[in-house]
Amino acid sequence: MTALTRPSTVSAALARDRLGVFSVIYFALSGVAPLTVVAGVVTTAYAVTGLTSVPAAFYLVAAVLALFSVGYIAMSRHIRNAGAFYAYIARGLGRPIGVGAASIAVFSYNLLQVGLYGAFGATAASFAAQKVGIHWWWWEWALAAWAVVAVLGLLRVDLNSRVLAVLGTAELIVIVVLTLTGLSHPAGGSFSLGTLAPGSMTGGGVGAALAIAVLGYVGFETSAVYTEEARDPKRTVRIATYLSLGLIAIVYTAASWMLAARYGEHHVAAVAQQQGPGMLFGLGSPLLANIGQTLFLTSLFAAMIAFHSAVGRYLFPLGREQVLPSGLGRPSRSGAPRAASLLQSFVGLAVIITYAVAGWDPMVKLFFYLGTTGGFGILVLAAVTSISVIVFFARDRRGENLWTAVIAPVAAAALLIAMVWLAVANYATLLGVPPNSALAKIFPAAYAVAAVIGIVWAAVLRAARPDVYRNIGRGADAVTQRVPVAPASGMPQVGGSTL
Amino acid sequence: MDWFSSHGGAHAQPQRGQVPAEPVPPVPARTTARPASATGQHAHIRIADDLFLISHRDWDGKPLLPDRVLGLALAGAALCELAMLGRVTVGDGILIVVSDADPTEELAQSLLRQLLSQPEPLPLRDWLAYLASGVTAAVGDRLARAGAVEVRKGLRGKRLVPVDSSDAFFKAGRLAVMLDSGSQFNPAQAALIGLVNAVGLIERLPCVNPAAIRARASVIMQSLECPLDGLIAETTAVVDNAILTGRT
């Protein structure tokens, strides 16, 4: 029976082309853009919210997301559809909620993407003015970045994964060096661990700190998209997800704690308001500061491309399944979902022009408001997905153990729902506006509107296009699970062309 | 154990993972299918050839799809051809050989031999991924041997250009007309529609009413039976995944 041990040449050839743990980490981290989070999100969060519980929030959120990933990744092995949240929610909680979730996803990723134009524009404008004496408005830089993203999105020149890997690694090194530098001169001569204690989360604005921390991890969920491409579907994606979550949790927690320790818990907000991202870069030598600022710009740019593609990733399956106009599901010669890319670019252009005309602040009102609101949307999606995972495995355990199929998803769902609740309750703190501000109601309410639009649209499809409705979120599984009844022999045909 | 302990033709004893090739009544013609050939032999249906021509620009042979997407779809088409010949089926996502009788057509023959060369049946998605890298050239060669395309060298390297560009154009045109006019489709034509849809080219068919064509195409695809339905669904899924993960 030597034939039994004969290796499959096909499997061996495919294995060479499959993604290992590090490739999946790089793909997942390319959307995370660590310097965007540490230099952009953390410093603006201190400035706007004044919350010093951000460092503790980072590692607590990582723990919750790791718990969420247990069931989420297990489900990715059974759904085998790169549509991520949308497909999972449609399969677990039904088609109407699936379309509602897709609507939330498209809205969230658009907010995350367009928000970055604010940070890029503001940073590039001040950097260019200081270093090379070019004085452009923030929106001129934003429009330049927008044009490049629009063209690259159409051509599907996704930044090469090696380039991203080099940039991401360089970003991490700069953050680590700046963190160590900052820690060598703590405020008052000693380290305060206060901002790291989970107890710091008990104060007001805990929901806001958690929502900001979630924003830092957006993109981690893309790892599940690569399940099909992974070398070992059971292990590769799981290990990659936990490693990337762990790695960025340590970096974010340490860097945000360092900033609070370096400038002092009571002064960090004031310093952040004065210096912005400069409070991080100013810690290093002039050379390191220049490198850091340059990498901050490339990091923002990489994140723009990643979120631009993410919007396409949600619009594409909706087009394919004809839930939205089918043009959105048509790939171009380059493989890019062209119409989806154009639509996202149009949204970006409209937002940049609106902010420029209105004269709104790009860093706070564009980057931070829209970014945190986008991150909140991803938190909502994760919460709904975790419920979907519970329902999916409740119907059929599919060989998964109790921890994976029940305990972890239930615990993750409870924690994520609590986080959504807290974020909504503290939304005014999140935006740094008075508690009775209309903005604190409008932003979270926009998601309810997006979800309702999706659910109503699903109902319209059920009535008007039952064939399309039946297909929502189905992918290939429905047919291939059937047992073959007969080979298709004997079909009455003549040879040659079919036409 | 090999898929076939003996290469005893279409009636080999079924082995593990293999569905017995029982005598199957012919699939009723739901279609305008032309009558079976007079010899009683099931001559080879070239779904991949038609897909190749539809997915290249008729006048200069420029591919309309990313290489990997085209490769995956042509791999699906070539496997549909084998399914039409009663050589393979799909069960639980696994591609299973049900008859090892050598097909007369060269591409089908080499494909079947490749399938049989593996120690055990593999998932259909693995086969699609594996075949995607070489099948485009193989289908191109087959078209060239048949005199349907010729190699032309240009600034962008070698391209296979239809010898009769109007014939290539009319493939797409005829498909559009059939969809538009509500013609009946035979299984091979329905599979072709499924594959054209999988790569998003339904939109590019020359027609006046794209919405009606799409609706009609989805009705036709629902009429597909095993194993063509599974082949088309899995091909569509791997094409989607390739586009979504950017590995095109």
Q: How many CB atoms lie within 10 A of CB A437?
A: 13
Mutate to test the interface with A, among B11, B192, B229, B245 (most CBs of A within 10 A): B245
pLDDT at B222: 83
Q: How many inter-chain contacts (A to B, CB under 8 Å) are there?
A: 226
- Averaged pLDDT, A138-143: 96
CB A241 within 8 A of CB A223: yes
pLDDT level of residue A118 (50, 70, 90 thresholds): very high
Q: How far is A318 from chain B (nearest CA, A)?
A: 11
Higher per-residue confidence, B21 vs A335: A335
Query: How far is the C-alpha of A489 from the C-alpha of B83, rounded, in Å?
Result: 7
Contacts of A481 in chain B (CB under 8 A): 92-93
Contacts of A320 in chain B (CB under 8 A): 200, 240
Query: How far is the C-alpha of B131 from the C-alpha of B72, rounded, in Å?
Result: 7
Per-residue pLDDT at B22 exceeds 90: no
DSSP codes, A213-265: HHHHHTTGGGGGGGGGGBSSTTTHHHHHHHHHHHHHHHHHHHHHHHHHHHH-T
E strands within A21-130? none
Look-up of token digits 């329902």: A391
pLDDT at B19: 37
CB B122 within 8 A of CB A8: yes
Among the ranges A72-76, A401-405, B55-59, B179-183, which has the highest mean pLDDT value? A401-405
Higher per-residue confidence, B9 vs A129: A129
pLDDT at A474: 67
Per-residue pLDDT at A494 exceeds 80: no
pLDDT level of residue A16 (50, 70, 90 thresholds): confident
Closest Cβ opposite residue B27 in set A8, A317, A490 = A490
Per-residue pLDDT at B246 exceeds 80: no
pLDDT at A157: 57
Share of chain A above pLDDT 90, in %: 52
A136: helix, coil or strand?
coil
Q: Do A496 and B242 touch (CB under 8 A)?
A: no
pLDDT tens digits, B87-103: 999 998 899 999 999 99
Q: How far is A298 from chain B (nearest CA, A)?
A: 21
Mean pLDDT of chain A: 86
Q: How far is B81 from chain A (nearest CA, A)?
A: 10
pLDDT tens digits, B97-141: 999 999 999 999 999 999 999 999 999 999 999 999 999 999 999
Q: How far is A334 from chain B (nearest CA, A)?
A: 5
Closest Cβ opposite residue B26 in set A322, A329, A492 = A492
Contacts of B247 in chain A (CB under 8 A): 229
DSSP codes, A313-330: HHHHHHHHTTSS-GGGG-
pLDDT at A204: 66
Q: Do A479 and B45 touch (CB under 8 A)?
A: no
- Averaged pLDDT, A392-396: 95
Q: How far is B141 from chain A (nearest CA, A)?
A: 15
What's the CA dihedral at A288, A293, A297, A303 to 10 degrees?
A: 70
Q: Do B187 and A491 touch (CB under 8 A)?
A: yes
Distinct helix (H) and strand (E) counts, chain B: 9, 4
Contacts of A78 in chain B (CB under 8 A): none
Residues whose CB is less than 8 angstroms from the CB of residue B112 and which lie 6 or more positions away in sequence, other chains included: B82, B87, B88, B97, B100, B102, B103
Query: How far is the C-alpha of A88 from the C-alpha of A81, rounded, in Å?
Result: 9
pLDDT at A475: 55
Closest Cβ opposite residue B92 in set A10, A481, A496 = A481
- Name the closest residue on chain B to residue A223, using Cα atoms: B245
What is the length of chain B? 248
What's A496's DSSP letter? Answer: B
- Name the closest residue on chain A to residue B125, using Cα atoms: A228
Per-residue pLDDT at B248 exceeds 90: no
pLDDT at A202: 66
pLDDT at A3: 40
Closest Cβ opposite residue B119 in set A8, A467, A468 = A8
Q: How far is B150 from chain A (nearest CA, A)?
A: 18
pLDDT at B129: 93
What's A363's DSSP letter? Answer: I
Per-residue pLDDT at A483 exceeds 80: no
pLDDT tens digits, A268-277: 999 999 998 9
Query: How far is the C-alpha of A63 from the C-alpha of A69, rounded, in Å?
Result: 10
pLDDT at A406: 96
Q: How far is A5 from chain B (nearest CA, A)?
A: 8
pLDDT at A495: 60
Contacts of A1 in chain B (CB under 8 A): 1
Q: How far is A220 from chain B (nearest CA, A)?
A: 14
Closest Cβ opposite residue B244 in set A225, A481, A490 = A225
Share of chain B above pLDDT 90, in %: 40
Contacts of B101 in chain A (CB under 8 A): none
Query: How far is the C-alpha of A112 from the C-alpha of A307, rounded, in Å?
Result: 7
Query: How far is the C-alpha of B202 from the C-alpha of B193, rounded, in Å?
Result: 8
Contacts of A337 in chain B (CB under 8 A): 243
Q: Do B33 and A492 touch (CB under 8 A)?
A: yes
Residues whose CB is less than 8 angstroms from the CB of residue B1 and which lie 6 or more positions away in sequence, other chains included: A1, A3, A4, B15, B16, B119, B120
pLDDT level of residue A180 (50, 70, 90 thresholds): very high
Per-residue pLDDT at B29 exceeds 70: no
CB A233 within 8 A of CB A77: yes
Q: What is the ipTM score, two decimals? A: 0.77
Element of type H or E holding B158: strand B157-162
Whole-model pTM: value is 0.83
| Pairing state between β B94-97 and B149-154 | unpaired
Contacts of B120 in chain A (CB under 8 A): 8
Please give the backbone phi and psi of residue A462, each rounded to the nearest 5 degrees, phi first: -60, -40
Share of chain A above pLDDT 70, in %: 91
- Averaged pLDDT, A463-476: 79
Q: Do B50 and A499 touch (CB under 8 A)?
A: yes
Of residues A10, A86, A210, A101, the one with CA closest to residue A450: A101
Q: How far is B74 from chain A (nearest CA, A)?
A: 14
pLDDT tens digits, A456-466: 999 999 999 88
- Averaged pLDDT, A282-293: 91
CB B129 within 8 A of CB B247: no
Higher per-residue confidence, B244 vs A404: A404
pLDDT level of residue A148 (50, 70, 90 thresholds): very high
- Averaged pLDDT, A155-181: 79
Mutate to test the interface with B, among A26, A229, A497 (most CBs of B within 10 A): A497
pLDDT at A481: 42
- Name the closest residue on chain A to residue B41, using Cα atoms: A494
Closest Cβ opposite residue A498 in set B114, B118, B189 = B189
- Name the closest residue on chain B to residue A19, using Cα atoms: B247
Per-residue pLDDT at A103 exceeds 90: yes
pLDDT at A440: 92
Among the ranges A57-61, A218-222, A491-495, which has the highest mean pLDDT value? A57-61
Per-residue pLDDT at B83 exceeds 90: yes
Contacts of A476 in chain B (CB under 8 A): 233-234, 236-237
Higher per-residue confidence, A369 vs B9: A369
Contacts of B126 in chain A (CB under 8 A): 10-11, 14
Higher per-residue confidence, B66 vs A190: B66
Query: How far is the C-alpha of A313 from the C-alpha of A156, rounded, in Å?
Result: 12
Q: Do A496 and B45 touch (CB under 8 A)?
A: yes
Of residues A284, A282, A371, the one with CA closest to residue A48: A371
pLDDT at A489: 42
Q: Do A476 and B42 touch (CB under 8 A)?
A: no
- Averaged pLDDT, B218-224: 86
Query: How far is the C-alpha of B52 from the C-alpha of B73, rounded, in Å?
Result: 9
Q: Do B21 and A327 touch (CB under 8 A)?
A: no
Q: How far is B217 from chain A (nearest CA, A)?
A: 11
Per-residue pLDDT at A171 exceeds 80: yes
pLDDT tens digits, A60-71: 999 999 999 999
Q: Do B117 and A475 touch (CB under 8 A)?
A: no
Contacts of B86 in chain A (CB under 8 A): 487-490
pLDDT at A82: 64
